[in-house]
Amino acid sequence: MIRIVRFLVVLFIPFLMSSTSCDKDSESLPEWEWDNNEEDNNDKPRILWIDAAANFVDFANSKENILRDLQIAKDAGFTAVVVDVRPTTGDVLFETDVVEQVKWLGAWLEQGYSKVERTATWDYLQAFIDAGKKLELDVYASINTFVGGNSSSLGEQGALFRDSEKEDWATKLLTETGIKSTLEVGGTGAKFFNPVREDVQEYIFNMLEDLAAYDGLKGIILDRGRFDGIDSDFSDYTKEKFEEYLGYSVENFPEGVMSPDIKAGNLPSTLPEYFKKWLEFRAKVIHDFFDKAAARVKAVNPDLSFGVYVGGWYSTYYEVGVNWASPNYDTASEFPVWATPDYKKYGYADIMDIILIGAYASPTKVYGTNEWTIQGFCSQAMRKIKGDATVIGGPDVGNGAWATANDEVINNAIIQSVGAVMDVCDGYFLFDMIHLKKKNQWEVVKEGISNVISTENGD
The closest of 42, 68, 74, 216 to 139, measured between CA atoms, is 216
CATH number at residue 63: 3.20.20.80
pLDDT value of residue 400: 97
DSSP label at residue 219? E
How crowded is residue 407: how many other Cβ atoms within 10 Å of its Cβ?
10
Answer whether 409's CB lies under 8 Å from 445's CB: no
CA distance 201 to 193: 9
Measure CA 76 to chain center. Answer: 23
Beta strand spans in 55-176 (E): 80-86, 104-109, 112-117, 138-144, 147-152, 155-157, 172-175
Classify residue 238: in a domain, yes or no. Answer: no
The closest of 392, 398, 391, 393 to 363, measured between CA atoms, is 398
Q: Any idea what the Cα angle at residue 324 is, between residues 318 and 327, rounded to 5°?
A: 105
Residue type, 190: A
CA distance 431 to 219: 18
SS3 287: helix
CA distance 43 to 37: 10
- Digitized pLDDT (tens) for each residue of the chain, 459 residues in all: 443 333 333 333 333 333 333 332 333 333 333 344 445 899 999 999 999 999 999 999 999 999 999 999 999 999 999 999 999 999 999 999 999 999 999 999 999 999 999 999 999 999 999 999 999 999 999 999 999 999 999 999 999 999 999 999 999 999 999 999 999 998 999 999 999 999 999 999 999 999 999 999 999 999 999 999 999 999 999 999 999 999 999 999 999 999 999 999 999 999 999 999 999 999 999 999 999 999 999 999 999 999 999 999 999 999 999 999 999 999 999 999 999 999 999 999 999 999 999 999 999 999 999 999 999 999 999 999 999 999 999 999 999 999 999 999 999 999 999 999 999 999 999 999 999 999 999 999 999 999 999 744 344
Classify residue 244: in a domain, yes or no. Answer: no
Classify residue 267: in a domain, yes or no. Answer: no
Classify residue 180: in a domain, yes or no. Answer: no
The closest of 279, 287, 291, 274 to 346, measured between CA atoms, is 287
Classify residue 367: in a domain, yes or no. Answer: yes
CA distance 14 to 232: 35
Count how many domains the chain has. Answer: 1
233: left (phi over 0), alpha (psi -120 to 50) or beta: beta
SS3 279: helix
Classify residue 107: in a domain, yes or no. Answer: yes
Residues 6 or more apart whose CB falls under 8 angstroms from that of 289 comprise 195, 201, 204, 225
pLDDT value of residue 17: 34
CA distance 227 to 345: 18
**Range of 447's domain?**
38-151+189-229+274-452
Classify residue 266: in a domain, yes or no. Answer: no
Classify residue 28: in a domain, yes or no. Answer: no
pLDDT value of residue 12: 32
